[in-house]
Structure 1
Amino acid sequence: MRVAVVDGQGGGIGKHITVKLRAELPPEVEILALGTNAAATVAMLKAGANEGATGEKAIIYNAPRVDVITGSVAILMANAMLGELTPAMAAAIADSPARKILLPINKAGVEIVGVVPEPLPHLIDALVRRLKIFYEGGNRKNV
């Protein structure tokens, strides 16, 4: 299974996701760090991603080539992350057939009704649990 972790700015959220995924998932699971900038990509690579790529072209190219995409819900929104996430990046992620397991972080001005605010470490733990269920369940689309 290939998992893409998408992040921008300093890559802090992506770094934390990558650390948890590396610790919780089997070593054969490939983690691909996709950063909107080099700093984000480097942070995720240092956290244990197998490979990394940076920028719009890298995200557009790789989004349909992974099984799961993780990050904050902002990666689906054009011009999120202070404009680093381009409309083309958001479209490529949204259009990808990959399962999207996203954190409901409200920095993009979007509120998801029914989601209880949680600290980031709890959200990342929940994301990793969902990804493990997806992985162990044979990549079923209804998980």
Structure 2
Amino acid sequence: MIIAVIDGMGGGIGAQIVSSLREDLPTYIDIYALGTNSIATSAMMKAHANKGATGENAIVVSSKRANIIVAPISVTIPNSMMGEVTFKISEAVADSEALKILLPIMPENIELVGLENKPLALLIKDTIKVIKREFNIK
């Protein structure tokens, strides 16, 4: 099983996600760190992702291989993350057959209504619960 974690900018969110996934899921699960830039990829690799790649093409190709994609919802919004998310990246994520677990971390000018405002740590715990439930992982 492959879980692709996508992040950009400084990679802090992705690094926290990778660290928690590595801690709470079995070691046979591969975690791919997919950064929109090398700093983000590096931060996720330091959090013990199995493999890492950077840039538009890496995200497009790896999104096809992933069983699960975990990322801030902004990866589906072209030009978000200060322009790091391209149209090809957002299209690849949206079109992927992978289960997409998108954290409601939004650009400043977008507001999602009806969502509970939770700290990142709780969002990551919820993410792990969904993965375990959907793939019968104990």
* Percent identity over paired residues: 45
Query: Taking structure 1 as the reference length, what is the TM-score of the superposition?
Result: 0.92
Which amino acid in structure 1 is aligned with residue 74 of structure 2? Answer: A
Give per-residue Cα distances to partners, 1:45-73, cap 9 Å, x unaligned. 11010000000010111111110000111
Q: Does 1:106 align with 2:106?
A: yes
Which amino acid in structure 1 is aligned with residue 82 of structure 2? Answer: L
Pairing of 1:1-143 with structure 2 (within 5 A): 1-107=1-107, 109-136=109-136
What are structure 1's unaligned runs of at least 5 residues? 138-143
Alpha-carbon shift at residue 108 of structure 1 (Å):
5.1
CA contact (8 A) 1:80 1:108 kept: no
Alpha-carbon shift at residue 113 of structure 1 (Å):
2.3
Query: Taking structure 2 as the reference length, what is the TM-score of the superposition?
Result: 0.95
Report the Cα distance in structure 1 between the residues aligned to 2:104 and 2:4, rounded to whole angstroms.
17
Aligned residues: 137
Which amino acid in structure 1 is aligned with residue 56 of structure 2? Answer: E
Q: Secondary structure at the match of 2:107?
A: helix
Runs of 4+ in 1 over 4 A off after TM superposition: none
Alpha-carbon shift at residue 135 of structure 1 (Å):
2.2
Report the Cα distance in structure 2 between the residues aligned to 1:19 and 1:87, rounded to whole angstroms.
28
Do the aligned partners of residues 55 and 108 (structure 1) sit closer, same or farther apart at CA in structure 2, a change above 3 Å counting? farther
Which amino acid in structure 2 is aligned with residue 42 of structure 1? Answer: S
Kindly report the root-mean-square deviation, in angstroms, between the aligned alpha carbons of the 2 structures: 1.1
Give per-residue Cα distances to partners, 1:78-113, cap 9 Å, x unaligned. 011000011111101101111101101123533222
